Structure 1
Amino acid sequence: MPYQKVDPEKLAQAVQRQIERLVLEGILRPGERLPAERELAERLGVSRPSLREALAALAEDGLIETRPGAGAYVADVLGSAFSPALVRLFARHDAALFDYLDFRRDLEGMTAARAAESGSATDLSVIAAAFARMEAPGRRSAEEDAAIDAQFHMAIVEAAHNVVMLHMMRSMYDLLTTGVFYNRQIIFRQKQARATLMDQHRAINTAIQARDPLGARIAVETHMDYVRAALEAHRRAEAHEVVARLRLAHEAEKD
Protein backbone atom coordinates (compact mmCIF):
# COMPACT_ATOMS: atom_id res chain seq x y z
CA MET A 1 0.00 0.00 0.00
CA PRO A 2 1.64 3.32 -1.08
CA TYR A 3 0.24 5.42 1.75
CA GLN A 4 2.14 5.96 4.98
CA LYS A 5 1.23 7.82 8.10
CA VAL A 6 2.58 11.34 8.31
CA ASP A 7 5.35 11.48 10.87
CA PRO A 8 4.95 14.54 13.15
CA GLU A 9 8.74 14.65 13.38
CA LYS A 10 8.90 15.43 9.63
CA LEU A 11 6.61 18.39 10.24
CA ALA A 12 8.95 19.71 12.93
CA GLN A 13 11.88 19.30 10.54
CA ALA A 14 10.03 21.31 7.89
CA VAL A 15 9.50 24.12 10.40
CA GLN A 16 13.15 23.94 11.39
CA ARG A 17 14.30 24.17 7.77
CA GLN A 18 12.03 27.14 7.11
CA ILE A 19 13.38 29.13 10.06
CA GLU A 20 16.94 28.12 9.17
CA ARG A 21 16.38 29.47 5.66
CA LEU A 22 15.09 32.78 7.00
CA VAL A 23 18.22 33.13 9.12
CA LEU A 24 20.49 32.05 6.27
CA GLU A 25 18.94 34.56 3.85
CA GLY A 26 19.29 37.32 6.44
CA ILE A 27 15.55 37.90 6.71
CA LEU A 28 15.59 37.03 10.40
CA ARG A 29 18.39 39.04 11.98
CA PRO A 30 20.48 38.45 15.11
CA GLY A 31 18.63 39.53 18.23
CA GLU A 32 15.25 39.56 16.50
CA ARG A 33 12.40 38.15 18.57
CA LEU A 34 10.29 35.39 17.03
CA PRO A 35 6.51 35.70 17.34
CA ALA A 36 4.90 34.20 20.43
CA GLU A 37 4.50 30.44 20.29
CA ARG A 38 0.76 30.44 19.63
CA GLU A 39 1.04 33.08 16.89
CA LEU A 40 4.03 31.41 15.22
CA ALA A 41 2.31 28.02 15.21
CA GLU A 42 -0.74 29.57 13.56
CA ARG A 43 1.38 31.34 10.93
CA LEU A 44 3.16 28.12 10.08
CA GLY A 45 0.01 26.01 10.23
CA VAL A 46 1.48 23.48 12.66
CA SER A 47 0.70 22.28 16.13
CA ARG A 48 2.45 23.83 19.10
CA PRO A 49 4.18 20.52 20.01
CA SER A 50 5.66 20.37 16.48
CA LEU A 51 6.78 23.99 16.78
CA ARG A 52 8.37 23.35 20.18
CA GLU A 53 10.27 20.41 18.75
CA ALA A 54 11.58 22.56 15.88
CA LEU A 55 12.57 25.39 18.24
CA ALA A 56 14.37 22.94 20.51
CA ALA A 57 16.39 21.66 17.55
CA LEU A 58 17.22 25.21 16.46
CA ALA A 59 18.30 26.08 19.99
CA GLU A 60 20.51 22.99 20.13
CA ASP A 61 22.15 24.13 16.88
CA GLY A 62 22.75 27.56 18.39
CA LEU A 63 20.56 29.43 15.89
CA ILE A 64 18.00 30.63 18.39
CA GLU A 65 18.03 31.21 22.11
CA THR A 66 15.10 31.14 24.49
CA ARG A 67 14.88 33.66 27.28
CA PRO A 68 12.68 32.76 30.25
CA GLY A 69 9.55 34.87 30.19
CA ALA A 70 10.69 36.74 27.07
CA GLY A 71 10.37 34.23 24.24
CA ALA A 72 12.70 32.99 21.50
CA TYR A 73 15.28 35.16 19.72
CA VAL A 74 17.59 34.70 16.76
CA ALA A 75 21.02 34.07 18.24
CA ASP A 76 23.95 36.35 17.52
CA VAL A 77 25.47 33.80 15.17
CA LEU A 78 27.44 36.51 13.34
CA GLY A 79 29.68 37.16 16.29
CA SER A 80 31.33 33.79 15.75
CA ALA A 81 32.91 34.97 12.48
CA PHE A 82 35.76 36.48 14.49
CA SER A 83 36.95 35.16 17.82
CA PRO A 84 36.99 37.60 20.77
CA ALA A 85 40.79 37.35 20.88
CA LEU A 86 41.05 38.33 17.20
CA VAL A 87 38.64 41.23 17.67
CA ARG A 88 40.78 42.56 20.53
CA LEU A 89 43.86 42.19 18.34
CA PHE A 90 42.17 44.16 15.55
CA ALA A 91 41.33 46.95 17.96
CA ARG A 92 44.94 47.32 19.15
CA HIS A 93 46.63 47.67 15.75
CA ASP A 94 46.11 50.42 13.19
CA ALA A 95 47.24 48.17 10.35
CA ALA A 96 44.05 46.15 10.82
CA LEU A 97 41.96 49.27 10.15
CA PHE A 98 43.37 49.80 6.68
CA ASP A 99 43.28 46.09 5.88
CA TYR A 100 39.61 46.22 6.89
CA LEU A 101 38.98 49.13 4.52
CA ASP A 102 40.78 47.37 1.67
CA PHE A 103 38.70 44.24 2.32
CA ARG A 104 35.48 46.27 2.28
CA ARG A 105 36.54 48.04 -0.91
CA ASP A 106 37.03 44.75 -2.72
CA LEU A 107 34.02 42.91 -1.35
CA GLU A 108 31.55 45.80 -1.51
CA GLY A 109 32.63 46.53 -5.07
CA MET A 110 31.81 42.93 -5.89
CA THR A 111 28.45 43.01 -4.12
CA ALA A 112 27.45 46.28 -5.82
CA ALA A 113 28.28 44.75 -9.21
CA ARG A 114 26.23 41.65 -8.36
CA ALA A 115 23.32 43.79 -7.15
CA ALA A 116 23.35 45.80 -10.38
CA GLU A 117 23.53 42.68 -12.49
CA SER A 118 21.17 40.27 -10.75
CA GLY A 119 19.25 42.13 -8.05
CA SER A 120 15.48 41.97 -8.46
CA ALA A 121 13.29 45.00 -9.09
CA THR A 122 12.28 44.87 -5.44
CA ASP A 123 15.93 44.79 -4.35
CA LEU A 124 16.65 47.90 -6.38
CA SER A 125 13.59 49.61 -4.92
CA VAL A 126 14.88 48.91 -1.40
CA ILE A 127 18.28 50.40 -2.33
CA ALA A 128 16.59 53.44 -3.87
CA ALA A 129 14.47 53.91 -0.74
CA ALA A 130 17.58 53.76 1.45
CA PHE A 131 19.24 56.39 -0.72
CA ALA A 132 16.09 58.55 -0.62
CA ARG A 133 16.38 58.59 3.18
CA MET A 134 19.91 59.94 2.72
CA GLU A 135 18.68 62.68 0.40
CA ALA A 136 15.70 63.63 2.55
CA PRO A 137 15.99 67.27 3.68
CA GLY A 138 16.36 68.19 7.30
CA ARG A 139 19.07 68.50 9.89
CA ARG A 140 20.47 65.20 11.12
CA SER A 141 23.15 64.35 13.61
CA ALA A 142 26.36 62.58 12.59
CA GLU A 143 24.98 59.53 14.41
CA GLU A 144 21.81 59.53 12.31
CA ASP A 145 23.79 60.00 9.09
CA ALA A 146 26.02 57.07 10.03
CA ALA A 147 23.01 54.81 10.69
CA ILE A 148 21.40 55.69 7.33
CA ASP A 149 24.74 55.11 5.61
CA ALA A 150 24.92 51.60 7.09
CA GLN A 151 21.36 50.83 5.95
CA PHE A 152 22.20 51.86 2.38
CA HIS A 153 25.31 49.68 2.22
CA MET A 154 23.53 46.68 3.74
CA ALA A 155 20.67 47.01 1.26
CA ILE A 156 23.24 46.61 -1.52
CA VAL A 157 24.81 43.56 0.13
CA GLU A 158 21.38 41.96 0.55
CA ALA A 159 20.57 42.63 -3.11
CA ALA A 160 23.60 40.58 -4.17
CA HIS A 161 21.81 37.43 -2.93
CA ASN A 162 24.95 35.64 -1.81
CA VAL A 163 24.51 34.34 1.72
CA VAL A 164 28.25 34.01 2.39
CA MET A 165 28.82 37.64 1.39
CA LEU A 166 25.76 38.67 3.39
CA HIS A 167 26.86 37.15 6.67
CA MET A 168 30.49 38.12 6.24
CA MET A 169 29.58 41.76 5.59
CA ARG A 170 27.08 41.83 8.46
CA SER A 171 29.83 40.56 10.69
CA MET A 172 32.20 43.23 9.38
CA TYR A 173 29.61 45.96 9.91
CA ASP A 174 29.01 44.65 13.42
CA LEU A 175 32.69 45.26 14.21
CA LEU A 176 32.29 48.75 12.78
CA THR A 177 29.16 49.45 14.83
CA THR A 178 30.92 48.45 18.04
CA GLY A 179 33.82 50.76 17.21
CA VAL A 180 36.46 48.06 16.79
CA PHE A 181 37.93 49.76 13.71
CA TYR A 182 36.61 53.32 13.65
CA ASN A 183 33.46 55.30 14.23
CA ARG A 184 31.50 56.21 11.09
CA GLN A 185 30.60 59.49 12.76
CA ILE A 186 34.22 60.64 12.35
CA ILE A 187 33.69 60.88 8.60
CA PHE A 188 30.35 62.66 8.80
CA ARG A 189 31.73 65.26 11.21
CA GLN A 190 34.47 66.35 8.79
CA LYS A 191 33.94 69.61 6.91
CA GLN A 192 32.39 69.14 3.46
CA ALA A 193 32.24 65.38 4.02
CA ARG A 194 28.44 65.16 3.96
CA ALA A 195 28.17 66.67 0.48
CA THR A 196 31.01 64.53 -0.88
CA LEU A 197 29.58 61.36 0.61
CA MET A 198 26.14 62.19 -0.78
CA ASP A 199 27.59 62.54 -4.26
CA GLN A 200 29.42 59.22 -3.89
CA HIS A 201 26.34 57.39 -2.66
CA ARG A 202 24.31 58.93 -5.48
CA ALA A 203 26.83 57.58 -8.00
CA ILE A 204 26.58 54.10 -6.45
CA ASN A 205 22.78 54.17 -6.50
CA THR A 206 22.62 55.54 -10.04
CA ALA A 207 24.88 52.79 -11.39
CA ILE A 208 22.95 50.04 -9.62
CA GLN A 209 19.57 51.38 -10.78
CA ALA A 210 20.98 51.54 -14.34
CA ARG A 211 22.12 47.91 -13.94
CA ASP A 212 25.70 48.92 -14.68
CA PRO A 213 27.92 46.42 -12.79
CA LEU A 214 31.23 48.04 -13.73
CA GLY A 215 29.97 51.51 -12.91
CA ALA A 216 28.67 50.28 -9.55
CA ARG A 217 31.99 48.66 -8.68
CA ILE A 218 33.96 51.79 -9.63
CA ALA A 219 31.59 54.02 -7.65
CA VAL A 220 32.03 51.86 -4.53
CA GLU A 221 35.82 51.79 -4.94
CA THR A 222 35.88 55.59 -5.31
CA HIS A 223 33.79 55.90 -2.15
CA MET A 224 35.98 53.55 -0.12
CA ASP A 225 39.16 55.28 -1.34
CA TYR A 226 37.72 58.54 -0.02
CA VAL A 227 36.85 56.98 3.34
CA ARG A 228 40.37 55.58 3.60
CA ALA A 229 41.97 58.95 2.81
CA ALA A 230 39.69 60.72 5.28
CA LEU A 231 40.59 58.31 8.07
CA GLU A 232 44.30 58.56 7.28
CA ALA A 233 44.00 62.35 7.55
CA HIS A 234 42.12 62.00 10.83
CA ARG A 235 44.78 59.68 12.27
CA ARG A 236 47.55 62.09 11.20
CA ALA A 237 45.73 65.01 12.78
CA GLU A 238 45.34 63.06 16.03
CA ALA A 239 49.05 62.20 16.07
CA HIS A 240 50.01 65.82 15.40
CA GLU A 241 47.76 66.99 18.21
CA VAL A 242 49.46 64.63 20.66
CA VAL A 243 52.88 66.02 19.70
CA ALA A 244 51.61 69.60 19.90
CA ARG A 245 50.24 69.06 23.40
CA LEU A 246 53.54 67.53 24.53
CA ARG A 247 55.40 70.56 23.20
CA LEU A 248 52.99 72.91 24.92
CA ALA A 249 53.35 71.09 28.23
CA HIS A 250 57.13 71.09 27.90
CA GLU A 251 57.25 74.83 27.19
CA ALA A 252 54.95 75.49 30.15
CA GLU A 253 57.37 73.66 32.43
CA LYS A 254 60.16 76.05 31.42
CA ASP A 255 58.24 79.14 32.51
Structure 2
Amino acid sequence: MPFRPVQPEKLSSAVTRQIEKLILRGVLRPGERLPAERELADRLGVSRPSLREAVADLQARGLITSRAGAGIFVADVLGSAFSDALVKLFSTHDEAVFDYLGFRRDMEGLAAERAARLGSETDLKVIGALFEQMEAAHQKRNPADEAQLDADFHLAIIEASHNVIMLHMMRSMYQLLREGVFYNRQVMFKQRTTRSALLDQHRVINDALQARDPDAARAAVEAHLDFVGKALNDDRRAERNEEIARQRFERVRRRPGT
Protein backbone atom coordinates (compact mmCIF):
# COMPACT_ATOMS: atom_id res chain seq x y z
CA MET A 1 0.00 0.00 0.00
CA PRO A 2 1.32 3.52 -0.82
CA PHE A 3 1.41 4.77 2.76
CA ARG A 4 4.37 6.02 4.77
CA PRO A 5 4.68 6.84 8.44
CA VAL A 6 3.80 10.44 9.22
CA GLN A 7 6.88 12.33 10.38
CA PRO A 8 6.43 15.23 12.79
CA GLU A 9 7.67 18.45 11.20
CA LYS A 10 10.43 20.37 12.88
CA LEU A 11 9.40 23.81 14.07
CA SER A 12 12.23 25.39 12.13
CA SER A 13 10.96 23.75 8.92
CA ALA A 14 7.47 25.13 9.52
CA VAL A 15 8.96 28.61 10.01
CA THR A 16 10.99 28.25 6.83
CA ARG A 17 7.95 27.23 4.80
CA GLN A 18 5.87 30.13 6.15
CA ILE A 19 8.50 32.75 5.29
CA GLU A 20 9.06 31.11 1.89
CA LYS A 21 5.37 31.43 1.07
CA LEU A 22 5.27 35.07 2.14
CA ILE A 23 8.19 35.83 -0.20
CA LEU A 24 6.72 33.73 -3.02
CA ARG A 25 3.32 35.45 -2.80
CA GLY A 26 4.87 38.90 -2.68
CA VAL A 27 3.68 39.68 0.85
CA LEU A 28 7.29 40.08 1.98
CA ARG A 29 9.06 42.23 -0.60
CA PRO A 30 12.71 42.45 -1.65
CA GLY A 31 14.65 44.69 0.73
CA GLU A 32 11.96 44.55 3.41
CA ARG A 33 13.21 44.25 6.99
CA LEU A 34 11.91 41.39 9.11
CA PRO A 35 10.92 42.01 12.75
CA ALA A 36 13.61 41.67 15.41
CA GLU A 37 14.39 38.12 16.48
CA ARG A 38 12.47 38.21 19.77
CA GLU A 39 9.38 39.78 18.18
CA LEU A 40 9.42 37.43 15.19
CA ALA A 41 9.79 34.35 17.42
CA ASP A 42 6.83 35.55 19.51
CA ARG A 43 4.68 36.15 16.44
CA LEU A 44 5.46 32.70 15.08
CA GLY A 45 5.08 31.03 18.47
CA VAL A 46 8.46 29.30 18.31
CA SER A 47 11.66 29.40 20.33
CA ARG A 48 14.50 31.66 19.27
CA PRO A 49 16.80 28.66 18.53
CA SER A 50 14.15 27.26 16.14
CA LEU A 51 13.85 30.67 14.49
CA ARG A 52 17.62 30.96 14.14
CA GLU A 53 17.76 27.55 12.46
CA ALA A 54 15.09 28.64 9.95
CA VAL A 55 16.86 31.94 9.32
CA ALA A 56 20.15 30.15 8.69
CA ASP A 57 18.44 27.87 6.15
CA LEU A 58 16.81 30.80 4.33
CA GLN A 59 20.10 32.71 4.30
CA ALA A 60 21.96 29.70 2.89
CA ARG A 61 19.47 29.62 0.00
CA GLY A 62 19.79 33.34 -0.69
CA LEU A 63 16.21 34.29 0.24
CA ILE A 64 17.09 36.51 3.19
CA THR A 65 20.21 38.34 4.23
CA SER A 66 21.52 39.86 7.46
CA ARG A 67 23.14 43.26 7.75
CA ALA A 68 25.40 43.95 10.69
CA GLY A 69 23.67 46.20 13.17
CA ALA A 70 20.60 46.59 10.93
CA GLY A 71 18.74 43.28 11.07
CA ILE A 72 17.46 40.64 8.68
CA PHE A 73 16.05 41.56 5.28
CA VAL A 74 14.37 39.83 2.37
CA ALA A 75 17.11 39.44 -0.22
CA ASP A 76 16.99 41.79 -3.20
CA VAL A 77 17.07 39.05 -5.81
CA LEU A 78 15.21 40.88 -8.59
CA GLY A 79 18.34 42.05 -10.38
CA SER A 80 19.37 38.46 -11.00
CA ALA A 81 16.70 38.18 -13.71
CA PHE A 82 18.97 40.06 -16.14
CA SER A 83 22.74 40.14 -16.42
CA ASP A 84 24.55 43.48 -16.10
CA ALA A 85 25.59 43.21 -19.75
CA LEU A 86 21.98 42.76 -20.88
CA VAL A 87 20.78 45.66 -18.72
CA LYS A 88 23.38 47.93 -20.33
CA LEU A 89 22.31 46.71 -23.76
CA PHE A 90 18.67 47.52 -22.95
CA SER A 91 19.62 51.05 -21.90
CA THR A 92 21.34 51.92 -25.18
CA HIS A 93 18.78 50.74 -27.74
CA ASP A 94 15.33 52.22 -28.39
CA GLU A 95 14.23 48.84 -29.75
CA ALA A 96 14.39 47.47 -26.19
CA VAL A 97 12.24 50.33 -24.89
CA PHE A 98 9.38 49.65 -27.28
CA ASP A 99 9.66 45.89 -26.95
CA TYR A 100 9.49 46.39 -23.19
CA LEU A 101 6.26 48.38 -23.55
CA GLY A 102 4.84 45.74 -25.88
CA PHE A 103 5.67 43.04 -23.37
CA ARG A 104 4.06 45.04 -20.57
CA ARG A 105 0.97 45.63 -22.71
CA ASP A 106 0.48 41.90 -23.20
CA MET A 107 1.29 40.85 -19.64
CA GLU A 108 -0.51 43.65 -17.81
CA GLY A 109 -3.56 43.34 -20.03
CA LEU A 110 -3.76 39.69 -19.03
CA ALA A 111 -3.11 40.58 -15.38
CA ALA A 112 -5.92 43.17 -15.38
CA GLU A 113 -8.29 40.65 -16.89
CA ARG A 114 -7.36 38.11 -14.21
CA ALA A 115 -7.55 40.70 -11.42
CA ALA A 116 -11.10 41.63 -12.43
CA ARG A 117 -12.06 37.95 -12.20
CA LEU A 118 -9.86 36.60 -9.43
CA GLY A 119 -8.93 39.55 -7.25
CA SER A 120 -10.40 39.62 -3.76
CA GLU A 121 -12.35 42.55 -2.38
CA THR A 122 -9.23 43.57 -0.47
CA ASP A 123 -7.14 43.44 -3.66
CA LEU A 124 -9.55 45.88 -5.28
CA LYS A 125 -9.49 48.12 -2.20
CA VAL A 126 -5.69 48.31 -2.47
CA ILE A 127 -5.92 49.28 -6.14
CA GLY A 128 -8.62 51.85 -5.38
CA ALA A 129 -6.63 53.35 -2.51
CA LEU A 130 -3.55 53.69 -4.71
CA PHE A 131 -5.59 55.46 -7.37
CA GLU A 132 -6.87 57.91 -4.75
CA GLN A 133 -3.27 58.59 -3.76
CA MET A 134 -2.45 59.18 -7.44
CA GLU A 135 -5.23 61.77 -7.60
CA ALA A 136 -3.85 63.51 -4.50
CA ALA A 137 -0.29 63.51 -5.89
CA HIS A 138 -1.61 64.90 -9.17
CA GLN A 139 -3.01 67.92 -7.34
CA LYS A 140 0.36 68.51 -5.65
CA ARG A 141 2.13 68.36 -9.02
CA ASN A 142 4.95 66.16 -7.77
CA PRO A 143 6.31 64.14 -10.72
CA ALA A 144 8.42 61.86 -8.50
CA ASP A 145 5.44 60.88 -6.33
CA GLU A 146 3.20 60.36 -9.33
CA ALA A 147 5.79 58.16 -11.05
CA GLN A 148 6.21 56.02 -7.92
CA LEU A 149 2.45 55.67 -7.41
CA ASP A 150 2.08 54.77 -11.08
CA ALA A 151 4.41 51.80 -10.58
CA ASP A 152 2.70 50.82 -7.32
CA PHE A 153 -0.73 50.95 -9.01
CA HIS A 154 0.36 48.66 -11.84
CA LEU A 155 2.10 46.24 -9.48
CA ALA A 156 -1.04 46.08 -7.33
CA ILE A 157 -2.92 44.88 -10.42
CA ILE A 158 -0.25 42.22 -11.01
CA GLU A 159 -0.58 41.13 -7.37
CA ALA A 160 -4.37 40.96 -7.70
CA SER A 161 -3.98 38.56 -10.65
CA HIS A 162 -2.72 35.93 -8.17
CA ASN A 163 -0.06 34.42 -10.41
CA VAL A 164 3.23 34.29 -8.53
CA ILE A 165 5.37 33.73 -11.65
CA MET A 166 3.92 36.81 -13.32
CA LEU A 167 4.29 38.75 -10.07
CA HIS A 168 8.03 38.17 -9.68
CA MET A 169 8.75 38.52 -13.39
CA MET A 170 6.96 41.88 -13.57
CA ARG A 171 8.56 43.11 -10.34
CA SER A 172 11.90 42.46 -11.95
CA MET A 173 10.82 44.46 -15.01
CA TYR A 174 9.60 47.33 -12.84
CA GLN A 175 12.87 47.39 -10.94
CA LEU A 176 14.68 48.14 -14.21
CA LEU A 177 12.09 50.82 -14.97
CA ARG A 178 12.64 52.47 -11.58
CA GLU A 179 16.36 52.54 -12.28
CA GLY A 180 15.73 54.40 -15.55
CA VAL A 181 17.03 51.59 -17.75
CA PHE A 182 14.22 51.92 -20.29
CA TYR A 183 13.19 55.56 -19.96
CA ASN A 184 12.78 58.29 -17.35
CA ARG A 185 9.20 57.95 -16.12
CA GLN A 186 9.32 61.26 -14.25
CA VAL A 187 9.76 63.15 -17.53
CA MET A 188 6.29 62.04 -18.63
CA PHE A 189 4.75 63.36 -15.42
CA LYS A 190 6.30 66.81 -15.85
CA GLN A 191 4.11 67.60 -18.85
CA ARG A 192 0.72 68.92 -17.78
CA THR A 193 -1.35 67.50 -20.65
CA THR A 194 0.38 64.12 -20.43
CA ARG A 195 -0.09 64.00 -16.63
CA SER A 196 -3.81 64.65 -16.97
CA ALA A 197 -4.19 62.05 -19.71
CA LEU A 198 -2.32 59.45 -17.65
CA LEU A 199 -4.51 60.11 -14.62
CA ASP A 200 -7.66 59.75 -16.73
CA GLN A 201 -6.37 56.46 -18.14
CA HIS A 202 -5.66 55.10 -14.66
CA ARG A 203 -9.17 56.15 -13.62
CA VAL A 204 -10.64 54.09 -16.47
CA ILE A 205 -8.51 51.09 -15.45
CA ASN A 206 -9.56 51.41 -11.81
CA ASP A 207 -13.25 51.81 -12.71
CA ALA A 208 -13.18 48.67 -14.86
CA LEU A 209 -11.50 46.67 -12.10
CA GLN A 210 -13.89 47.89 -9.41
CA ALA A 211 -16.77 46.90 -11.71
CA ARG A 212 -15.13 43.48 -12.19
CA ASP A 213 -15.27 43.83 -15.97
CA PRO A 214 -12.37 41.71 -17.33
CA ASP A 215 -12.69 42.82 -20.96
CA ALA A 216 -12.89 46.52 -20.08
CA ALA A 217 -9.96 46.22 -17.64
CA ARG A 218 -7.75 44.59 -20.26
CA ALA A 219 -8.75 47.12 -22.94
CA ALA A 220 -8.06 50.03 -20.57
CA VAL A 221 -4.56 48.78 -19.73
CA GLU A 222 -3.75 48.17 -23.38
CA ALA A 223 -5.00 51.65 -24.37
CA HIS A 224 -2.93 53.20 -21.57
CA LEU A 225 0.29 51.50 -22.64
CA ASP A 226 -0.40 52.32 -26.30
CA PHE A 227 -0.57 55.96 -25.21
CA VAL A 228 2.71 55.68 -23.30
CA GLY A 229 4.39 54.13 -26.35
CA LYS A 230 3.12 56.88 -28.64
CA ALA A 231 4.18 59.61 -26.18
CA LEU A 232 7.67 58.15 -25.96
CA ASN A 233 7.93 57.80 -29.72
CA ASP A 234 6.81 61.42 -30.17
CA ASP A 235 9.37 62.53 -27.58
CA ARG A 236 12.16 60.63 -29.34
CA ARG A 237 11.15 62.18 -32.66
CA ALA A 238 11.06 65.67 -31.16
CA GLU A 239 14.56 65.17 -29.75
CA ARG A 240 15.89 64.07 -33.15
CA ASN A 241 14.19 66.97 -34.91
CA GLU A 242 15.63 69.45 -32.41
CA GLU A 243 19.12 68.07 -32.90
CA ILE A 244 18.81 68.47 -36.67
CA ALA A 245 17.43 71.99 -36.23
CA ARG A 246 20.41 72.93 -34.04
CA GLN A 247 22.81 71.67 -36.70
CA ARG A 248 21.04 73.73 -39.34
CA PHE A 249 21.05 76.80 -37.12
CA GLU A 250 24.76 76.39 -36.47
CA ARG A 251 25.41 76.20 -40.21
CA VAL A 252 23.40 79.36 -40.86
CA ARG A 253 25.00 81.20 -37.93
CA ARG A 254 28.49 80.55 -39.27
CA ARG A 255 27.85 81.86 -42.77
CA PRO A 256 30.07 84.76 -43.76
CA GLY A 257 28.41 88.11 -43.20
CA THR A 258 25.91 86.88 -40.61
Structure 2: runs of 5 or more not aligned: none
1:195 is aligned to 196
Query: CA–CA distance in 1 between the matches of 2:172 and 2:183?
Result: 15
Paired amino acid for 1:162: N
After superposition, the Cα gap between the structure-2 partners of 1:247 and 1:211, relative to the gap in structure 1 and judged at 3 Å, is same
**Offset, 1:143:** 1.1
Q: Which residue of 2 aligns with 1:105?
A: 105
- Distance, in Å, in 2 between the alignment partners of 1:4 and 1:134 is 52
Written as runs of structure 1 = structure 2, the 5 A alignment for 1:169-180 is 169-180=170-181
Match of 1:165 in 2: 166
**2:129: which partner in 1?**
129
* Corresponding residue number in structure 2 for 1:72: 72
Q: Structure 2: how far apart are the matches of 1:254 and 1:72?
A: 67
What RMSD, in angstroms, separates the aligned Cα atoms of the two structures?
Answer: 1.7
After the TM superposition, which segments of 4 or more aligned residues of structure 1 sit over 4 Å from their partners? 3-7
Displacement of 1:20 in angstroms is: 0.7
1:155 aligns with 2:156: yes
Distance 1:148 1:191 in 2: 17
Provide, for residues 50-97 of structure 1, a one-character-per-residue CA deviation record: whole Å limited to 9, x for no partner: 111111110111001111121111111111111111111111111000
In the alignment, the residues of structure 2 paired with residue 215 and residue 67 of structure 1 have an alpha-carbon distance, to the nearest angstrom, of: 46
SS, match of residue 192 in structure 1: helix
**Equivalence for 1:49:** 49
User: 245-254 or 110-119: which moved more?
Assistant: 245-254
Residue range with higher mean Cα deviation, 131-140 or 225-234: 131-140
Amino acid at match of 1:110: L
State the TM-score, normalized to the length of structure 1: 0.94
Which amino acid counterpart does residue 250 of structure 1 have in structure 2?
Answer: R
Per-residue CA deviations over 1:2-23 (Å, capped at 9, x if unaligned) read: x99967xx11111111111111
1:88 is aligned to 2:88:
yes
1:249, distance to aligned residue in structure 2 (A): 2.7
Closer/same/farther in 2, CA of residues 4 and 239 from structure 1, 3 Å limit? closer
Q: In the alignment, what sits opposite 2:250?
A: 249
Query: What is the total number of aligned residue pairs between the two structures?
Result: 251
Amino acid of the structure 2 residue aligned with 1:197: L
User: How many angstroms apart in 2 are the aligned matches of 1:155 and 1:180?
Assistant: 22
- TM-score, length-scaled by structure 2: 0.93
C-alpha offsets along residues 11-46 of structure 1, whole Å, 9 cap, x if unaligned?
111111111111101111111111111111111111
Aligned to 1:22: 22
Report the counterpart of residue 241 of structure 2 in structure 1.
240
